[in-house]
Amino acid sequence: MKLPLACCRLQTLGAALGVCVTISFTVQLLGGPFQRRAPTAPAGHPPAPCQPQTHLVFLKTHKTGGSSIVNLLHRFGETRGLRFALPHRYQFGYPSPFRAERVKGYRPEGPPFDIICHHMRFNLTEVQKVMPNDSFYFSIVRDPGTLGESAFAYYRAVAPAFRRAPSLAAFLAAPGHFYEAGARGNHYARNLQWFDFGLPVVRDGDSVAVAAALAGLERDFALVLLAERFDESLVLLREALCWPEEAVVAFAHNGRPTGDGPRVSPAQAARLRAWNSLDWALYVHLNRSFWRRAEAFGVARLQDEVARLRQRRADLARRCLRGGGPLPARAIPDGRLRPFQPPGRAQILGYALRAGLRPAEREHCARLATPELQYKDILDRRQFGGGNASIPPGG
């Protein structure tokens, strides 16, 4: 998406390169929060080898593409026998702030977990009780100008502010008319990302408090991905984690049928950004940080790796998927692959497997296609045995 920033799009990077190089050089000199783990090798020396990171905290924010990231984390952890910090049911007591005792099997003196990646309202001190000290903290954000529409469609039944409005257009014409701060479920209706990051309540227009909150966020999170630049994000993540390229290939989960054009008009997107002003400030800030990091990685290198990633994903889609892409839930006969459908009219797409796959390939394809809830239950059974059916979001 286009932001009024010097270095926020690949296309504009050529012109902005000088500015960005200066900024990123300064950031590196000052030891900014997004320093890379592997030190840069001196000229003429091969880069220092790095160890794949297996201690991961992924803050899964809502409606930002996080389910697709969770799918690759699930697969990475499962194939390597890593321990997941799982909720007892669907999520960790959300929307209450995360607490360690919400993790199934957590004991204060017990062994730490390797990966935590399901919805929570972030709470650093409690997460630190569960996860090793050397964990890599990362998350993903999205432009509130489109996230707001996705949340409106998905959480219509659970957010009173959305439920009361006859349409998104009506809500945006006078959001204050429908919204009551603090009402149960209304965190979905305003500044949802600010809420998920567990950032403090700040008064309207208090730019000092906003800046302090965002500085704290960048101290806690080593990397924040952008939903709009999903594939570039995966490449930067792969590099930060020292993972092989194939480990970050995933299908897009939780999508909806695409219509004829964008779901929000430019005017509606602008209203959504104004209504979600804290999320917009957060997004603008993290967008800048993302592109500084992308520029440090190297634009041409990034484009090359993104192309390889897309090729791998397209090959897998051709090999694995019936119809080669996402399908509506009614066209997915296998309940283990059918995604949860929220109450209301929003349709969530999933995947069905091609007939005739050999067993090993079928297993691999099934894991790529398995929705988050069913996959969480598989991991739960692997770690704890027995059955544990998830309850749906908002339930």
Closest distance to ligand PPS from the beta carbon of 119 (Å): 7
Judged by CB under 6 A, the residue of 20, 56, 63, 136 near ligand PPS is 63
Provide the minimum distance between the beta carbon of 284 and ligand PPS in the complex, in angstroms, as a whole number. 19
In the shown chain, the binding pattern of residues 171 to 210 toward ligand PPS, with x for contact by CB under 6 A and - for none, equals ----------------------------------------
How many residues belong to the site for ligand PPS (CB under 6 A)? 16
Residues 120-159 that bind ligand PPS (CB under 6 A): 150, 154
CB 224, CB 293: distance < 8 Å: no
Q: Does 65 bind ligand PPS (CB under 6 A)?
A: yes
Handedness of CA 381, 92, 220, 282 (dihedral sign): positive
**Whole-number minimum distance, CB 257 to ligand PPS, in Å?**
9
- Identify which range of 7-15, 57-65, 127-135, 306-314 contacts ligand PPS by CB under 6 A: 57-65
Which residue's CB comes closest to ligand PPS? 67
* 287 forms part of the interface with ligand PPS (CB under 6 A): no
Whichever of 155 and 291 has its CB closer to ligand PPS, that residue is 155
Amino acid, single-letter form, for residue 391: I
C-alpha to C-alpha distance for 330 and 106, rounded to whole angstroms? 38
Residues 6 or more apart whose CB falls under 8 angstroms from that of 104 comprise 85, 86, 87, 88, 380, 383, 384
Task: Label the pairing between strands 115-116 and 223-226.
Answer: unpaired
Distance CA(353)–CA(251), nearest Å, equals 13
Looking at 20, 62, 145, 293, which residue binds ligand PPS (CB under 6 A)? Answer: 62
**Residue closer to ligand PPS (CB basis): 198 or 255:** 255
Out of 68, 276, 289, 370, point to the residue binding ligand PPS (CB under 6 A).
Answer: 68
Among the listed ranges 64-72, 93-101, 104-112, 236-244, the one in contact with ligand PPS (CB under 6 A) is: 64-72
Within positions 221 to 260, which residues make up the interface with ligand PPS, using CB under 6 A? 227, 230, 252-256
Which is closer to ligand PPS, CB of 253 or CB of 293? 253
Cis before 244? omega within 30: no
**Least distance CB 355 / ligand PPS (angstroms):** 26
- Which residues are near ligand PPS by CB under 6 A? 62-68, 150, 154, 227, 230, 252-256
